Chain A
Amino acid sequence: MENTEKKIREVAQKLLKDKKVNLVIGFEKGTLPWKSRPVFIRKHEDADKLVWNQFCENNLAVYIPFYKKMLDKGNTIAVIAKGCDARSLILHVQENVAKREQLIIIGVPCEGMLDRRKIEKEVAPGEITKIILKDDSVTIKTEKEETEQKQSNFLSDDCIMCTHRKPVVYDELIVVNIKEPPGVKRETILNEFEKKDPQDRWKYFSEEVSRCIRCYACRNACPGCYCNECFVDCSQPQWIGTTVDSETDLQLFQIIRTFHLAGRCVNCGSCSRACPMDIDISLLVSKLSQDSKQFFNYETGLEIDDMPMLNKYSEDDSNEGFFEEH
């Protein structure tokens, strides 16, 4: 990790010094033991702020649409990118948010991020005061105790299912050996869920979504959600009610948001992580990614010259689910 961090800093510093980029988006140490947070570096001497560890959980591509004006002026942005961040950046290029040459992708192979909720659960009701990451172990300190465990016990669910730990498209690659965490196939997890009766599946979904407080953290943390006007915010016409006492509106919000991400979601898990009510949003989008793969053999953000899944048509496309007669 320290080695990776050092390399990241060197690359960022050089890019800024050589004036190849105007801005580097990466991670810095946060104020909480379980958090590294996004940082925006413009001066090469600030590159030492950059950190790299298993709490660099945000998908940094989410910030690119904020810099649309800056990009339109021809500026260049470098992003420290995990596999998922890099895929979202490619999506942005495909969707004309940024030109490929304006994004410098500093790829960092990723061992998977740790889920702070899982760590909290482990020590509850104790309170995490410090976390030390070393090799594949994590030491969690609370006011009274200290426990050392394997990092893999706390891997974020989406990272467990990750299919592209190493960025596929990049400009600079931080060459490090990563240990492959114990992966579980998306199919395995989804198949487990799909074995349930439709009523039970609906019950699970509607109970999860009933906690939604419409803070839209899932949407705002998502690199794919950058519409100028989100359908929930549109008032003329109003597509969806704004209250939280209508179950239908809460369900509708999640379902439509998910469908807007068909072939655009990279399963980074940012939506679930951002949710303050611990709603299992990943499950829905995960299913959609599985369908994209199964029906269209498509995975988001792998090829720069490709078009987004729903922007292209091929006679060979699967017609499953379309206009079925009952």
Chain B
Amino acid sequence: MKDSSKSIKYIEKEKLGAFIAELQKEYVVIAPKKVKEFVLFEIIRENEKPVLDFRNSRQSPKEFFFPQTENIVEYEGIIDKRVPLTRDTEMQKRIIFGIRPCDIRSILILDKLFINEDYVDSYYKRLRDNTLLFAYGCNEPRTTCFCSSFGIGPFEEKGTDGFLTDLGDGYLVEGFSEEAKKAIANLPDAAKETIEKKEKCKKLSNERAASSVPIDTIPEKLRTMFEHPLWEDITERCLGCGVCTYLCPTCHCFDIQDEMIDEKGRRVKNWDSCMFPIFTLHGSGHQPRELRYQRMRQRIMHKFNYYDDNFGIIACSGCGRCVTECPVNIDVREILNKIKKS
């Protein structure tokens, strides 16, 4: 059966480098790279090959749309005579290659906030508009993955421009959007057996990723739980660091700072974390969420209730990063199960 809405190509593993080099003629290629013993998404330099034998990257590629530090405006001159410097709005097109489906879902979640009918964040939109997303199916989901809780799976295609599947000797490369089809046009067409092989991978992986957290009633349940002993109970071991929020692919709170050195200055947007004691600290010294459990409550409520209320989607994609990296093993899956039971 031929599906004309997409193009299906195949590339042998040893030819990946050449393909990336081809893409680099037109695009900045962002792909997984090995850093010490883990993997991060970075810009691939010339003659560099992405690392594709990974489960998931330590941090998601969120920073390519919502950078941890981003200049909003730069200016120079003395007080009262400040001149804003013009921003470069042109940018080279980018491809994020090898992004996992959970991280694609997270970008779709962020889209609702940064690009909606009331407000468009031009910084985010510019980066989003100029980036193609080539997803990478998870043949072997991590033991801490729970994406299937959110109606997606290790081979979810929604939101992608193209899709990559590891078939052992090579990759099946699918193009969905017109631009993605164009980008892979020079690759040879995939044989029928190869396409069938992908379907097998997908089926196998979907079965593996069956472990999930029952999420359906959580947003409604939380509505009545603002005052609840659960919050103090789950917070007692929390150290109040920013690991969970800074590794989270959907957390999006930020702080704005002015920096001035001599006569040059900038207004800059930095990631912020609701787990920090100075998060939303008022100028008066008043702290609306003074206690650790109130901050924990904010994080869980924001993800699983407020965001759902505001945008109709839960702000979690089940990537499991907060689960594996929390220094004291605060496990959001366990928290969700507790909410469900309480």
User: Chain A interface (Cβ within 8 Å of chain B)?
Assistant: 30-32, 35, 37-40, 58, 62-63, 66, 117, 120-121, 124-125, 127-129, 143, 211, 213-217, 219-221, 233, 241-245, 270, 273-274, 276-278
Q: Are A273's CB and B55's CB within 8 A?
A: no
Q: Is the CB of B55 within 8 A of A125?
A: yes
- Would A276 and B236 be within 8 Å (CB), given that A129-B143, A242-B257 are in contact? no
Taking A243-B259, A278-B36 as known contacts, 15 extra A-B pairs with beta carbons closer than 8 A to each other, sorted by chain A number, are A31-B329, A37-B329, A40-B236, A58-B327, A121-B37, A124-B37, A125-B54, A125-B140, A213-B246, A214-B246, A216-B241, A217-B243, A245-B69, A274-B327, A276-B247
Q: Which of B58, B241, B327 has the largest number of chain A CB atoms within 10 A?
A: B327
User: Which B residue sits closest to A128, measured CB to CB?
Assistant: B143
**What are 15 pairs between A and B in contact, CB < 8 Å?**
A30-B329, A38-B237, A40-B237, A117-B37, A127-B140, A215-B245, A217-B239, A217-B241, A217-B327, A219-B241, A220-B240, A241-B257, A242-B257, A243-B268, A276-B247
Report yes or no: A39 in contact with B142, Cβ–Cβ below 8 A.
Answer: no
Partner of B270, one of A129, A217, A219, A243: A243
Interface residues as binary, B299-334 with A (CB distance below 8 Å gives 1, 0 otherwise):
000000000000000000000000111011101011
Q: What's the Cα separation between A129 and B236 when bound, in Å? A: 27
* A276-B268 contact in complex given A31-B333, A215-B273, A220-B241, C-beta closer than 8 Å: no
**Known contacts A32-B323, A125-B53, A276-B325; A241/B259 CB under 8 A:** yes
The docked-state distance in angstroms from the alpha carbon of A38 to that of B326 is: 12
Interface of A is mostly: loop
Q: Which of A66, A245, A274 contacts B243 (CB 8 A)?
A: A274
Residues of B within 8 A of A213 (CB): 59, 68, 242, 246
B54 to chain A, nearest CB (A): 7
Distance (whole angstroms) from the CB of A141 to the closest CB of chain B = 11
Docked complex Cα distance between A276 and B37 (Å): 12
| B113 CB → nearest A CB, Å | 21
Given the complex, which residues of A lie within 8 Å of B255, measured CB to CB? Answer: 242
* A152 to B: closest C-beta gap in Å: 20
Which residues of chain A come closer than 8 Å to B226, judged between CB atoms?
none
A215/B270 contact (C-beta < 8 A), A129-B143, A143-B140, A278-B36 known: no
Q: Is A221 touching B68 in the complex (CB atoms < 8 A)?
A: no
Q: Assess whether A127 is in contact with B55, with CB atoms less than 8 Å apart.
A: yes
Q: Does B114 belong to the interface (CB within 8 Å)?
A: no
Q: Are A31 and B241 in contact (CB under 8 A)?
A: no
Task: Return the chain B residue nearest A222 by Cβ.
Answer: B239
**What separation, in Å, do the CA atoms of A247 and B68 have in the docked complex?**
14
The chain A residue sitting closest to B283, CB to CB, is A235
For A244, what are the chain B residues with a Cβ–Cβ distance below 8 Å? 68-69, 270
CB distance from A157 to the nearest CB of B (A): 14
Q: Count B-side interface residues using an 8 Å CB cutoff.
A: 44
B276 at the interface (CB under 8 A from A): yes
**Bound CA–CA A66/B239 (angstroms):** 9
Residue of B with least CB distance to A229 = B278
- Among residues of B, the one whose C-beta sits closest to the C-beta of A271 is B327
B35 sits at the interface (CB 8 A): yes
Q: How far is the CA of A216 from the CA of B239 in the complex (A)?
A: 10
On whether the beta carbons of A211 and B35 are closer than 8 Å, the reply is yes
Which residue of chain B lies nearest to A31 when distances are taken between CB atoms in the complex? B331
CB-based contact A233/B242 at 8 Å: no
B144 on the interface (CB 8 Å rule)? yes
Determine the chain B residues whose CB is within 8 A of the CB of A38 once the complex forms: 237, 328
The verdict on A278 contacting B241 (CB below 8 Å), with A216-B276, A245-B69 known, is no
Beta-carbon contacts under 8 Å, B15-69 to A: 35-38, 53-55, 58-59, 68-69
Compute how far the CA of A217 lies from the CA of B244 in the bound complex, rounded to whole angstroms: 10
Residue pair B144, A276 in contact (C-beta under 8 Å): no
For residue B208, which residue of chain A has the nearest CB? A143
